[in-house]
Each structure stands twice: as C-alpha cells, then as structure tokens.
C-alpha cells in the first residue's frame, strides 16, 4: 500500500511538472510565434511562393529570406522586385528597414544587398558562390531591398510609355504603393517599427518617400497605416548649390585638381543656376577629366585591374548615359558625372553581374518571370529622361523634422562624388540649432568619425569611408545603424 501511494505521488508530481512546463512552453510560444500565426491561407501561400530556397552557392543561415514581385499598378502591369531578409534573431521584435540605392536607375539589390550591407556577397569564381557578410544589417533589423523605379534591375512595366514618365514623384508614389502592398503580403511585420535608409540619389528618394508615408498616414485606414519612425541617408544628394560647391572645394582640398582649375570653376560657374555657360562648361570639363584617372567615389581605392569583356549584361563599363532632368541640374549635364561606383573590391560589380544573370539564380529568387528582353544590370542604360527633380530637398527635410521624424545624415569622408564638405554646407543651410558641435565618436578604441547633433537631426561622418559607407567601413556602419535604431548618440568614448 505504501509503495502504491509513493508511486501515485510520484506520478502526480510528474504530471504537475509536465503540465507546468507545457504551460510555460505555450506561453513562450504564444509570445514568440503568435507573430505570423493565424495568417489567412492566401497570405501564407503568397509568402511560401516568395520564400527563397536552393539559392545557388548560398551558405547555410538561420534566417528566412524572400524575394519576388509586388504589383504597383495593375492596369499598366507595373511590378517592383524586392528581396527581404528576416533579422538574424528575434525578427518579430526587430524593426523593418527599407534600403534604397540611387542613380537614379541603379539597383538596391546589386549594390545594397550584394556589395554593401546585405547578408550575401557574390564571390569570384566559375561556380556560383556567395560569402556571408558578418556585418550584414539584418543583424539589427529585418532588411528589405527594393529595385525602384520600374526599369531598374528586375522591376518591370508592361506599358512601355511608363519609362518616359519616370521622375522623383513617380518613383515615390510607386514605392509607397509597393510598401502598402508588401505589408499586406507580410502582415506579421505591420506593427514593427519601420525605417528607410539609402545613399547618393536616395537623398531624393528617401525623404520624398518619407513625406508620402508621413502625409498618407494622416488619412490612411488601419490596414494601410505604416508604423514609420525615421530615416537615414548617406553621401546624399540634397541641394544642388551646396552639393556642387562642396564637390569643387573637396577636390581642391584633397589635391585632386590644380589651383587653376579651381579658380576657373569658381569664377565661371554659378551653381545656383540650372544652365551651364560655355566658359563654365570648359572649366568643368577640366575638373571631371581628373576623375577619368582616379575613382571619384573613393579617392584612395584602386580601379579594377582586370579587363572583363564577357560580362553577361555587357555592363562592365563604368560610364552611363546622361539622364536629362535629374539633380544636380548643372553637373548632370556632363557625361562624366554619370559614372557608377565600383566598391572596395573594384571588381565586385563584375561578380554580382555574372551571378544575378544566371538562370538558376533568377529562378531561385523568383525573378525575371516575364523574361525581360535585356540582361540584369547594376544601372539601367535605358533611363535617359527624368520628369521632375527639385533643386533642393531641404524643404522636405524641414517639414519632416517638424513632424517629429527621426533623421540621421551620414557621410564617408573619402567620397568625392557627394563629399563631406558638400553635406556640411547643405546642413548649415538648414539653419538648425546645434545642440552639440563637432564631437568624435569611437569604434572600440579608434575614432570612427565625428558628429554634430542638431535640433531634430544627427550628422555623422565615417572616417576613411567612400561613397558606399557600408562597403568601406562595414563594422562602423553596422554600429551606426544600431545607434540610429535605438535613438542613441554614437559612442563618445573608446570601448
């Protein structure tokens, strides 16, 4: 009898313990996986269709990633291509960050994902191979790359006349429609904080898209509301006058141009104007000629020494056609302005070009489903007209500062394209109160750059970085992202 009682007591205790553990597991599971549970069958089917599996050369990872198309205009057959990476850990608790490259006409997948801040970088070799980026930004956020506008990368339209309608406003509206429809496809991320980041001509794209979201949120229904908190832009085109003035000053300060060229440009060119005089054109031709010899995007980085003549898209050349109507309105009239960046490994764009044109890669990414009649390329040579581009984005930035949007502007200090001197002149033009002036920040024991804390805006320089900051200083760029998302200042002491 005693034995039976002990047996009964033991089993009772065991049952209670198992029940407790089950309740704990259910509680934890509910908090962690209720996110994404209960989705409508059609939504789950769409996500499953976009899930990337069997990507050639991909190293094993713990996170999921998705790629495919989101329609932005059914009647015209416009669809934008995206590639989305869940955060490495706790994606349900992490913000969603949209990354945009500029151009205009250049791919956020080709540059942002494959050569700057994405998880996978194509490697050199005959077999398709990817290396893992240990400083990928999906270590801090759920990371979304968008090829925008239509005509860029894999994004397309079935209405050819749409290409002639492209411009800043067109791009912002389509990108906003993409976001509304993307969050409908991935509703488990809808309540997460949302941020935008980008570089170069994204100095137009990002604030303009932010403004559309900001204005639309005031009247949006619950289903279309975007939990937008802020944006950051790097080496960004913001104001024609100061951007162009800063480029010339930077080139002279960094021993790129002679005293004569500097004096000629200063005397003959008026950067407040959109048109260029004959005398100014001659002076600027001399200025741009120097950048045939060295990389404007990174003064101290060598050019690619290999002669890749057999690229699938024949896009190994760095020169792009001039785009009529883009900002800056004076400099953009010069063919040499339209070079595209190469990156820290100056041959990396070739590896990306070859990889993304492989049929098996495109199939794994659910890309090129309409069999676009041209090869994928970093930047679209066919975009030669731009409908609208304001000379200054500063009024938009002022509006968003007043609206409480978090804004960071960062600048790699070895970039000659949109140099730190240009950005400093631009930010001074805003007339914001300085809360804390020129202050060093640290990456471990080294000075990583400098900051100016304005009333409503943070400015960060990254020491030794070119135009594509995450390419040249990946560790420092990831640190900056973490501080931005946490709304914390950069580390002011060595650690």
* Residues with catalytic roles: 200, 415, 467
Bridging pattern class, strands 78-85 and 142-147:
antiparallel
Angle 41-50/168-185 helices, nearest 10 degrees? 120
CA angle at 479 for the pair 475 and 484, rounded to the nearest 5°? 145
CA proximity to 55, closest of 474, 367, 431:
367
CA proximity to 339, closest of 306, 367, 378, 385:
378
């Amino acid at each position: 009898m005693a034995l039976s009682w002990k047996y009964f007591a033991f089993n009772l205790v065991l049952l209670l313990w198992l029940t407790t553990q089950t309740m704990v597991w259910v509680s934890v599971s509910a908090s962690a996986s209720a996110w994404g549970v209960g989705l409508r069958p059609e939504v789950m089917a769409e996500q499953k269709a976009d899930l990337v599996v069997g990507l050639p050369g991909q190293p094993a990872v713990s996170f999921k990633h998705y790629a495919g198309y989101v329609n932005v205009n059914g009647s015209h057959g416009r669809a934008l291509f995206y590639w989305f990476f869940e955060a490495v850990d706790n994606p349900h608790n992490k913000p969603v960050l949209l990354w945009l490259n500029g151009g205009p006409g250049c791919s956020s997948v080709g540059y942002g994902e494959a050569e700057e801040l994405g998880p996978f970088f194509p490697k050199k070799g005959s077999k398709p191979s990817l290396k893992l980026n240990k400083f990928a930004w999906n270590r801090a956020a759920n990371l979304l790359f968008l090829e925008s506008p239509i005509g860029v990368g894999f994004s397309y339209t079935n209405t050819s006349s749409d290409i002639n309608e492209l411009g800043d406003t067109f791009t912002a509206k389509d990108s906003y429609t993409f976001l509304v429809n993307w969050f409908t496809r991935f509703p488990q991320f809808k309540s997460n904080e949302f941020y935008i980041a980008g570089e170069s001509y994204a100095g137009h794209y990002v604030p303009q898209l932010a403004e559309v979201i900001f204005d639309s949120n005031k009247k949006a229904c619950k289903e279309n509301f975007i939990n937008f908190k802020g944006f950051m832009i790097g080496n960004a085109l913001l104001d024609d006058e100061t951007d162009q003035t800063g480029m010339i000053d930077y080139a002279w300060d960094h021993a790129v141009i002679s005293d004569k060229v500097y004096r000629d440009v200063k005397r003959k060119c008026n950067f407040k104007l959109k048109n260029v005089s004959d005398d100014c054109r001659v002076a600027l031709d001399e200025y741009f000629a120097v950048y045939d010899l060295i990389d404007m995007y990174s003064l101290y980085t060598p050019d690619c020494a290999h002669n890749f003549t057999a690229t699938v898209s024949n896009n190994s050349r760095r020169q792009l056609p001039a785009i009529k109507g883009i900002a800056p309105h004076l400099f953009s009239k010069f063919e040499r302005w339209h070079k595209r960046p190469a990156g820290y490994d100056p041959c990396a764009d070739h590896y990306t070009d070859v990889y993304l044109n492989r049929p098996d890669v495109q199939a794994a990414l659910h890309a090129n489903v309409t069999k676009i009649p041209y090869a994928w390329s970093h930047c679209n040579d066919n975009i030669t007209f731009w409908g609208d581009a304001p000379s200054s984005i500063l009024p938009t930035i002022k509006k968003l500062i007043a609206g409480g949007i978090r804004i960071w502007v960062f600048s790699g200090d070895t970039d000659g394209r949109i140099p730190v001197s240009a950005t400093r002149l631009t930010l001074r033009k805003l007339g914001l109160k300085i809360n804390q002036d020129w202050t060093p920040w640290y990456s471990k024991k080294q000075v990583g750059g400098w900051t100016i804390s304005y009333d409503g805006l943070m400015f960060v320089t990254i020491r030794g970085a070119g135009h594509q900051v995450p390419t040249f200083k990946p560790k420092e760029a990831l640190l900056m992202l973490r501080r931005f998302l946490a709304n914390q200042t950069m580390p002011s002491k060595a650690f």
